[in-house]
Structure 1
């Protein structure tokens, strides 16, 4: 008999494949120990240098230039992207390319964060000389406080020594993760000190699912004649026509001042099912003081509210004045979920 499409067969492992799991656990344990050592160092001498680096970046007139090569360079590119997306203007300059014209990207108002585990890469020499010549603040991220890079820097973020996850202690693994973690720590500390908000993030990250979640309710809501509304005293038969015509599964009920007094939903219909339902008024059936959201609520937060309340639509209001309506399907189409 053929297996159905949804049938999931439990995979089998060879002895060789099974041995990969202990290897993976050793890797994670080694890398976790590196991050733990980094956290301990931040509570000691590294913490003072970390704070000094934050002050330098915050007070800079220009941008944060991150440089490195090899695995440090790859980590540097990621850190630069994190800084830039969280409110700290930053970009990456490859340490080798810097000597072939890319030094021109760096101005006297900038700050350089140079990343090198050994601190002795010869490609850094021209960059160090350039920083000294134009009095550009230089921060080193390295594991050797006596290295050429560390001694040339205005501030040296000296990471604690840690064994690589590689069994030969050669392939940059633990060291790369520690650099990444410290870079993220710098970016988040700057984000928090600036009071960087989700709204600020949305300006810098309009694309993808994150961008969709950071849209506002006002960007997605239906307005004007599309809002299902009826006044108090309306017969349920008329309210049902409005619900069906607008297609949101609900109708907002407004008072004589045009303010939201209640809402009639599919659930209210089921709870009030009786022979005279169509001749009853909305006043008898509606849910009073319904949940509404501000037009400035983020789409991601609106989705959380819909899910937690187990409803499919929310009226958008300023105070109690209806401005629009947002349906779960609007959020889905926008890519929020």
Structure 2
């Protein structure tokens, strides 16, 4: 099979029809049909199911799609790497993922340093959590991602490097009567918003926190969202409480509107990690950026420790 045939197949898979794929690939529809017929003949299986609604992938096609994306991603990485070696500044793309916390703490400074060293490389950054990034890393489309991982791990096919511990706090809008609460007991009747789209994840850890105290009813969760802008907007318009990373409350776009609730109970923390495929080396561009991210994670932890030292001396909760 040829790379062109694989790229034609991906165009059909992404567009859902022969005609649309032909337009994307800038060939005629009959030429696209012939390309798919040749590929199916070489693989000895039907990849597509022709229907009145277009072209759908067969079970064979769905299985081949994963490998096809990996093949084209590896070819593009090779093209980029050779372009870097010959000093061609017109090519290069680095695709990685990041959750909200590293986006506000590590990524901007690391990218600033990266741009000084590899200004020719364009960056494609996908937000979200590990469940959004893992399939893309497995397929070879994405090089690495940064964010919290489940306690059970994500499998032996990924290499994982811990970057820093992320502490949660409880937050509410400035001026809310709940801002003066000093314990979870005083928040028994509060409404909650979770900064997580599922029952698992850092934002949803508040459920586990309440479960540690048998005399407390479960939190009254009214909204769940992984969008920071949604969380911020709803909190500013209500008295809903949310568990957020400590760094968020000090960010320029949240500090004017939200305040920490100084409860005495110890809140959960979780690890921000970097992960990538264990069986394949990172590209030179990804190797550089991951090195810079780890360096800035070290700087971040040093700054946090320096800031926390006076708090510990004075017995303030921020030193935990």
TM-score (norm 1): 0.23
Larger RCO (CA within 8 A; separation ≥ 6):
2
For the pair shown, which has the larger CA radius of gyration, 1 or 2? 1
User: Greater strand share, 1 or 2?
Assistant: 2
TM-score (norm 2): 0.24
